[in-house]
Amino acid sequence: MKITNAEVFIGGPGKNYVTLKIMTDAGIYGIGDGTLNTRETLPAEYLKEYLIPCLIGMDPRNSEDIWQYFYRGAYFRRGPIAMAAYGAIDMALWDIKGKIAGLPLYQLFGGKSRDGALVYAHAVGNTLDELIDSVAHYVEQGYKAVRLQCGIPDMPEGGYATGKGGDTKHFITEYGALPDQEIWDSEKYLRYMPNVFEKVREIFGPDLKLLHDVHHRLRPREAAAFGKEIEKYNLFWMEDPTPADDQHALRLIRQHTTVPIAIGEVFNSIWDCKTMIEEELLDFIRVSVTYAGGITHVRRIVELAGLHSIRTGFHGAPSHSPISMAAQAHLNAWAPNFGIQEYLVLGTEECDALFPSDHYLDNGLFYVSDAPGLGVDFDETEAKRYSFDRRYHPIVRLEDGTMWNY
Ligand code: CS2
Ligand code: MG
């Protein structure tokens, strides 16, 4: 069996999804997601210029060797661009493998460890009242876990953790614009946020799982103090308390608080996660199959995490196309150390038309499709409706102008 051709598509409803389609001489094809939010053309070009020419003629069943060929074979390794490109190839090869076997991918990993996978929704509000309405909305729909991001009174200008302007505003700018700027003040945030958890707990009771994303905004000592202060609200996790570059910062946080820590959405390889996993500096690993090198590599990270009682909490922002969400759904069904899945309803009619699938959400749990392979398809006719739009994440400064972490 041989790979005969591969094509890359960019675009989607309101998103620059990077979709790879690999064709074989057996008439079976596979699809993969290489979307790197706000830098989408880079993995796409890497695929087109360098990787696809090598893929033609390879046996698609040898997904491990192909992964090693690209990763180990490259002199300059890792990084989000390369790993997203390998991730797209790897997902497509697993899709082909599942289709050859006539089995959904979770069966190839070892079968199901659970019926449905717990997901969390994003509740946001410019004010605490708005946030409470947003939580109530998700609770009514059956969600058992919600992430809380709330506007901070007097915060100079927005700020990710405030949720100002709604969720999507904070992922990307409008087409054609240069990056938005936010002004951030950690002290105001640290003073206000505990009230938010207190109020939400008071209204919604002890069972609702509450998560919060600090989005890399704090210094290690601040994060340690914050974690200690909010322990009493029994959060499911505190995410990305400090910038991910410095894994050692987590040591200080760990010494001072038992609040569960989730980190890793910007990590690309097992080497990036190794210190924090082996030293048990976190509770949930947030890598995604897209920019952590696909199913082959993320399974290794999941296994290493499992040895250290660390659970999964894969990244599931809308920047991931339904293809990587499907790949993660299969891993979630299998992984003995599954924790939770971030889930944002992509579910516009346009998105479902572009990526048809039978995966579904019911009562706060995600159920994986039994179709062979990834269980999601890509409609090339629909794809013709979309093209690439350059967009940016916002940048963040402190009030005196100092650049800060988005
Ligand atoms: C966020 C992300 O979902 C999350 O936890 O941290 O939405 C992040 O801001 C975006 O994926 C960046 O592209
Ligand atoms: Mg995050």
Quick one: pLDDT at residue 130?
A: 94
Cβ count within 10 A of residue 380: 12
Distances (CA, A) of 371 to 26, 98, 298, 344, 361: 19, 9, 22, 22, 16
**CA–CA gap between residue 140 and residue 348 (Å, rounded):** 20
Per-residue pLDDT, 394? 86
CATH 3.20.20.120-classified regions of the chain: 110-370
Q: How far is the CA of 215 from the centre of ligand 2 (A)?
A: 6
Q: 343 in ligand 1 pocket by Cβ < 6 Å?
A: no
123-175 pLDDT, tens digit per residue, is 999 899 999 999 999 999 999 999 999 989 888 776 555 544 344 444 556 66
Distance (angstroms) between ligand 1 centre and the Cα of 53 equals 32
For the chain, what percent of residues have pLDDT higher than 90?
87
pLDDT digits (tens, 9 = 90+) for 170-201: 455 666 688 888 899 999 999 999 999 999 99
Give the per-residue pLDDT at 177: 80
Lowest mean pLDDT among 164-168, 170-174, 244-248, 396-400: 164-168
- pLDDT at residue number 224: 98
Nearest to residue 21, comparing CAs of 99, 80, 81, 73? 99
Average pLDDT value for residue range 260-266 = 97
pLDDT digit string, tens, across residues 39-83:
999 999 999 999 999 999 999 999 999 999 999 999 999 999 999
Indicate if 308 belongs to the active site: no
Crossing angle (nearest 10°) for helices 63-71 and 80-101: 170
What pLDDT does residue 171 have?
52
- Cα(102) to ligand 1 centroid in Å equals 34
Mean pLDDT over 85-91 rounds to: 98
Helix (H) or strand (E) holding 234, with range, is: none
User: By alpha-carbon position, which residue is closest to atom 9 of ligand 1?
Assistant: 171
Closest CA to 86 of 98, 69, 99, 101: 69
Query: Which bound ligand lies closest to the C-alpha atom of 319?
Result: 1
Report the amino acid identity of residue 102: G
> Can you give the pLDDT at residue 250?
97
Fold of 110-370: TIM Barrel (3.20.20)
pLDDT band at 343 (very low <50, low <70, confident <90, very high): very high
**Residue 162 CB–ligand 1 contact under 6 Å:** no
Residues of the chain with CATH 3.30.390.10: 3-107
What stretches of 77-128 adopt beta strand conformation (E)? 117-125
Report pLDDT for 166: 42
Nearest CA to ligand 1 atom 6: 215
* Confidence at 104, pLDDT banded by 50, 70, 90: very high
Q: What residue's CA is closest to ligand 1, atom 7?
A: 317
Position 174 scores a pLDDT of: 63
Which residue among the candidates 46, 160, 343, 386 is catalytic per the annotation? 160
CA of 216 to the centre of ligand 2 (A): 8
Q: Whose CA is nearest to atom 13 of ligand 1?
A: 37
213 pocket-lining for ligand 1 (C-beta < 6 Å): yes
- Ligand 1 atom nearest the C-alpha of 122 is 3
Residues with Cβ within 8 Å of 137's Cβ and at least 6 positions away in sequence, in order, are 123
Residue with more model confidence, 166 or 342: 342
What is the percent of the chain with per-residue pLDDT over 70, rounded to a whole number?
A: 95
Is residue 312 over pLDDT 80? Answer: yes
Least confident of 120-134, 166-180, 207-221, 381-395: 166-180
- Per the annotation, the verdict on 393 as an active-site residue is no
Give yes or no for residue 171 CB within 6 A of ligand 1.
yes
| Residue 45 in tokens | 């070009």
The predicted structure's pLDDT at residue 120: 98
Give me the catalytic one of 122, 170, 215, 315.
215
How far, in Å, is the centroid of ligand 2 from the Cα of 305? Answer: 19
pLDDT over threshold 50, residue 255: yes
The topology under which CATH files domain 3-107 is Enolase-like; domain 1 (3.30.390)
